[in-house]
Amino acid sequence: MSILVIAEHDNSSLKQATLSVVAAAKAIGGDIDVLVAGENCGAVAEAAAKADGVAKVLVADNAVYGHFLGENLGELVAEVGKGYSHILAAAGTTGKDFMPRVAALLDVAQVSDIIRVESEDTFVRPIYAGNAIATVKASDSIKVITVRPTGFDPVAAEGGSASVEQVDVVKDAGLSSFVGEEKAKSDRPDLASAGIVISGGRGMQNGENFKMLEQVADLLGAGMGASRAAVDAGFVPNDMQVGQTGKIVAPQLYVAVGISGAIQHLAGMSDSKVIVAINKDEEAPIFQVADYGLVADLFEAVPQLEEELKKVL
């Protein structure tokens, strides 16, 4: 078997999610190649070549891939990937965008968001917002798969020495173009890969109050998240949403502040190792999944938490 992993990156650095996808590829077994498609993405290719278990890195470096447009990536990956038995990408917004296009162009099904590999053709994935776990067998000759990074421990980022080859395939579908972006700039760890995540919900009451959480997050070196309610209310931007349709996180510690715990939110964080809930409503469903629950007014508890953490950290 031969597996093609599509790297997730921002043209300058390789996202950790890619290392989890390589881990999923190792669980399938076979030769693992990584495709880095982007623009001026040489540093990413070098990083991918060092990842444990990678045999070869293919680099498609061209302006048409610079913004990861699904139309162009779809054609490229279908072309490069057609000789492989499996094509894998992280189930982030980029992978979710272009991978179904790849599957359709190859006339094969896609298996989305796998959390476990049972065998070369059988995979485990959550359905119904994680309220059910399905084991699915794929019959197509090429398996197109998106991988939920939290389901697989990342392979080591160093130690490998894969060869790097340029791929001279330029696919410009000519259907779409990049206009602009608003990227949240933050010095905090990326939500999806942070070891600790602190999230606020509707109980925060407004965006200004998230500053309280930011101070705690900075003490802990934590990533910042939010419930859908907090995003819908405009307290914080959409990229902070944790849940069924937002980001899926599984940190060592997840602190939910003023979040009631709708199933759609639980779907995004219930695999966290330790969950803390701070909520004034003791009936809130979040307490059913929390390892440590504190029934308290968050406006008193969060400043206290900051003080107590300062004592012990």
Partner 1 sequence: MKVLVAVKRVIDYNVKVRVKPDNTGVDLANVKMAMNPFCEIAVEEAVRLKEKGVASEIVVVSIGPKACQEQIRTALALGADRGIHIESDEEVQSLEAAKLLKAVVEKEEPKLVILGKQSIDSDNNQTGQMLAALTGMAQGTFASEVVVDGEKVNVTREVDGGLMTVSLNLPAVVTTDLRLNEPRYASLPNIMKAKKKPLDVMSAADLGVEIKPRLTTLKVEAPAARQAGVKVADVAELVDKLKNEAKVI
Closest distance between partner 1 and the C-beta of residue 275, in Å?
7
Closest distance between partner 1 and the C-beta of residue 63, in Å?
15
Phi, psi of 248 (to 5 degrees): -105, 125
> DSSP label at 39?
S
Closest distance between partner 1 and the C-beta of residue 7, in Å?
14
Closest distance between partner 1 and the C-beta of residue 212, in Å?
13
Nearer to partner 1, 61 or 75 (CB): 75
Nearer to partner 1, 20 or 49 (CB): 20
Nearer to partner 1, 6 or 220 (CB): 220
| C-alpha triplet 118, 75, 53: angle, nearest 5° | 40
Total residue length of the chain = 313
Closest distance between partner 1 and the C-beta of residue 228, in Å?
7
Torsion angle, alpha carbons of 187, 189, 190, 193, to 10: 170
Nearer to partner 1, 55 or 66 (CB): 66
Radius of gyration for the chain, computed over Cα atoms and rounded to the nearest angstrom: 20
Q: State how far the alpha carbon of 184 is from the alpha carbons of 8, 187, 255, in Å.
A: 18, 10, 21
Closest distance between partner 1 and the C-beta of residue 112, in Å?
5
Nearer to partner 1, 198 or 204 (CB): 198
CB-based contact 47:160 (threshold 8 Å): no
Nearer to partner 1, 175 or 211 (CB): 175
Nearer to partner 1, 9 or 162 (CB): 9
Between CA 306 and CA 132 the distance in angstroms is 37
CB-based contact 119:233 (threshold 8 Å): no
Between CA 104 and CA 143 the distance in angstroms is 12
Would you state the structure tokens that stand for residue 5, as one six-digit string?
């992993």
Q: How many CB atoms lie within 10 A of CB 276?
A: 18
DSSP 262-283: -HHHHHHHTT-SEEEEEES-TT
Closest distance between partner 1 and the C-beta of residue 155, in Å?
21
